[in-house]
Amino acid sequence: MKHLLYSLIFLNTFVYGQNINNNNGADTNTILELNTTAWEFQYTNLDSAMLYGNAALEMATQLKWKKGIAKSYSNLAVFYKLKGNPAKALQYNLSALQTAKELGNKNAIASILCNMGVIYNEKGAHPKALTHFFEALKAAESVNNQRLIGITLCNIGMVYIDQDNYPSALNYTRRSLNIAQQQGNKELQATSLGNIGLTYFKQRQYDTALVYYFKTLKLDEEMENTNALALHIANIASVYLEQGKYNQALEFYLRSLNMNRQIGNKMEEARALGNIGSTYGFLKNYKQAENYLQQALALANELQSNIEKRDFEFMLSEVYEKKGDTRLALKTYKKYIVTRDSIFNTENTKKQTQQEMQYEFDKQQLSEKAEQDKKDAIAIEEKQKQRLAIWLVSGGLLLVITFLIFLYNRFKLTQKQIIEAQKLQVDDAYGLLHEKNKEVMDSINYAERIQRIFLATKQLLDENLENYFILFKPKDVVSGDFYWAAKLSNGNFALATADSTGHGVPGAIMSLLNITSLERAIDHYTEPADILNATRKTIIERLKKDGSAEGGKDGMDASLTVYDFKNKKLLVAAANNPVWIVRHATAGQNARDQFEIIEIKPDKMPVGKHDKDNIGFTQQEIQLQSGDVVYTLTDGFPDQFGGEKGKKFMSKNLRELLAKNTHLPMQQQKELLEFAFKNWVGDLEQVDDVTIVGIRI
């Protein structure tokens, strides 16, 4: 089932400003009118739009009016993109960009770079798209154009969605949404909200996706944006379909169908018909499913849209098969194969287009390099002139320096006795400083011994766990990270892996407060969610005593796992920190290569004061299997900077590293993690406390 994607935002890239040449006023006004007419024709008659756009370009070129040239190039780039010729669109954008750079128009530069990013992304060239979007962002920020900044951030977020990089997608899209809200830009708000919804949809967080889709729907209704409204209604239907709420999905797909028919959007009408047919198939109403899919297929043929045609033929063949009509099922499936192969050939053509785009881009790069080489040659000539002047001045300075040396020697003799006296004072001060530093370090080392008393002891862990490891690497002597364990009153075993606010001495003090709050909670509760709720309440109450009106906002990110070993059950409540379970799919010689990763996602709030501290923590229950390895962790390892490019290690890479080596003995896993961390950090410094706990069931 297709989920409709949100398009990246393509901009009308160039505004003229007021500097029109008075001597050619009539001609420049004609260029203005031609470009305006061309822009108005783009949605009704693309050939006419291109005709007027080329006429404007020719006249602006004759007058050598750069603003008119840039506007004409950028308009034609839009028209070629709409016409399905991205290579030509890129060529015209490059010409517009060169002219905009000559004019020093940062707004136009940002817009054109943004449009080029859209073209690259639509062709799957994501790295090039990001390069252009970030250059566009830099240009927009240099002139503080909040509208352009917001649009570019939204486009960057969409690229990360396409790459399945959901944390980055949410980061940039939320920044876009914030700017849109500040600017009162409802259109950008709706797009940003829709993209956030899409991000959650692709992560299968359907309830959260619906929240953002309905917010988008409300804005579309306020703006009376019927096209967007039809799209967003279809997306809501797709969420309901994935949730198995087929009647609700059908209701929204029918609404989308009616709206697309009203506005005459035949492509979306065909998709709506196909989605309705597929939904009826899930409801086992094969008569209606066949009816709507036949309508969808007829419309796809009319529109000559092979991708939709392929999908509808496949859906229809499945409906015939479920009806028991094997003859029609086979016939329709053969048609699907033919259409699919046709699309494959078309995709090869698209790859050739991408190569053409690469050629145009490389050609532009060479042109810019030649221009830079010319500038470098001029700079070298200027440096030679400066060098001659320096030699002339140096001769005069040499005489002055000789005299200064004489004065310096006299001064040095006078200062010798003073320096010797000061050295004695410095030696005394250094000795005192060394003594004070020793006292401080002795205190910190003593604090470390106190903190270790509160951590889970080896004896307690060995009594309750058969096979485990603990990787604990404080950034400083004492740590904000901690691992704590306890035997609960119902016989279950609890283990917390936590990251307190701060690190070093402040983090260590906060960890003691957090541990004592946990110990207080288990006197009354045995369920992990109840324990975290009670712990949060205690932390907030204790921090109110800091003298402020509402108390501090410190606390911890933590995962609390409770093991019922008798029934092989794992109960989890987590605040910002995930829990990973690596499970082998099969046993045998190749078992290490066959595993699945179960991620228990945390609540997005800390154990402490927060705008959601009135909401209880979620409790999740997992049925464990023999051989499962449960990993709990803080963010220190994935957030560590290092490697060749000085980037973060990232949670994805850590998860894969653990899963790949989960077959190893636990102590060997710990040693491997220590080696990987040390190798990643290299010559850089550790940025945060690191804790990882692994337990084999």
Written in H, E and C, the secondary structure of 72-95 is HHHHHHHHHHHCCCHHHHHHHHHH
- Which residues on adjacent β-strands are paired with residue 603? 575
Is pLDDT of 156 > 90? yes
Average pLDDT over residues 389-407: 60
Is pLDDT of 345 > 60? yes
Average pLDDT over residues 656-675: 91
Mean pLDDT is lowest, of 35-39, 509-513, 579-583, for: 35-39
Residues of the chain above pLDDT 90, percent: 55
Please indicate whether residue 673 or residue 25 has the higher confidence score (pLDDT). Answer: 673
pLDDT given for residue 591 in this prediction: 46
**Helix H or strand E encompassing 694:** strand 690-696
Is pLDDT of 250 > 70? yes
Is pLDDT of 386 > 70? no
Please indicate whether residue 362 or residue 253 has the higher confidence score (pLDDT). Answer: 253
Is pLDDT of 338 > 70? yes
Summary count for the chain: helices (H), strands (E): 21, 13
Is pLDDT of 462 > 90? yes
Is pLDDT of 16 > 60? no
pLDDT given for residue 135 in this prediction: 95
Q: What is the pLDDT of residues 182-213, one digit of tens each?
A: 999 999 999 999 999 999 999 999 999 999 99
Residue pair 52/37 in contact (Cβ under 8 Å)? The answer is yes
Task: At 359, list the tokens.
Answer: 């050629």
Please indicate whether residue 476 or residue 600 has the higher confidence score (pLDDT). Answer: 600
Please indicate whether residue 26 or residue 695 has the higher confidence score (pLDDT). Answer: 695
Average pLDDT over residues 151-175: 94
Q: What does the alpha-carbon distance between residue 188 and residue 198 come to, in Å, rounded to a whole number?
A: 15
Q: How far apart are the first and last CA of the chain?
A: 39
pLDDT given for residue 5 in this prediction: 41
pLDDT given for residue 227 in this prediction: 82
Dihedral Cα 514, 518, 520, 522, nearest 10 deg: 180
Task: At 341, list the tokens.
Answer: 């192969």
618: helix, strand or coil: coil
Q: Are strands 641-642 and 647-648 parallel, antiparallel or unpaired?
A: antiparallel
- Half-sphere CA count of 206, side-chain side, radius 13 A: 12
Q: What does the alpha-carbon distance between residue 338 and residue 534 come to, in Å, rounded to a whole number?
A: 63
pLDDT given for residue 424 in this prediction: 65
Is pLDDT of 556 > 80? yes
Q: What does the alpha-carbon distance between residue 328 and residue 308 come to, in Å, rounded to a whole number?
A: 19
pLDDT given for residue 314 in this prediction: 92
Q: What does the alpha-carbon distance between residue 133 and residue 164 come to, in Å, rounded to a whole number?
A: 18
pLDDT confidence band for 19 (50 / 70 / 90): very low
pLDDT given for residue 636 in this prediction: 94
**Helix H or strand E encompassing 642:** strand 641-642
Q: What is the DSSP string of 258-311?
A: HHHHHHT-HHHHHHHHHHHHHHHHHTT-HHHHHHHHHHHHHHHHHHT-HHHHHH
Q: CA-based angle 650:131:93, to the nearest 5?
A: 160
Which of 218-227, 260-269, 271-280, 340-349 is the most confident on average?
271-280
Average pLDDT over residues 298-310: 89
pLDDT given for residue 477 in this prediction: 84
Mean pLDDT score of the chain? 84
Q: What is the pLDDT of residues 533-545, one digit of tens each?
A: 999 999 998 888 7
- From the CB of residue 288, how many other CB atoms can be counted at a distance below 10 Å? 16
Phi/psi-derived region of residue 454, left when phi > 0, alpha when psi is between -120 and 50, beta in every other case: alpha
Is pLDDT of 171 > 90? yes
Average pLDDT over residues 173-189: 94
Average pLDDT over residues 400-422: 64
- From the number of C-beta atoms within 10 Å of its C-beta (0-12, 13-18, 19+), residue 411 rates as exposed
> Which sign, positive or negative, has the C-alpha torsion 205, 206, 207, 213?
positive
Is pLDDT of 358 > 60? no
Q: What does the alpha-carbon distance between residue 279 and residue 257 come to, in Å, rounded to a whole number?
A: 13
Q: CA-based angle 472:478:479, to the nearest 5?
A: 55
Is pLDDT of 92 > 60? yes
- CB-based burial, 665-691: b 16+ in 10 Å, e otherwise: ebeebbeebeebbeebbeeeebebbbb
- The predicted model scores a pTM of 0.49
Is pLDDT of 74 > 50? yes
pLDDT given for residue 124 in this prediction: 85
Mean pLDDT is lowest, of 510-524, 582-596, 606-620, for: 582-596
pLDDT confidence band for 146 (50 / 70 / 90): very high
Is pLDDT of 590 > 90? no
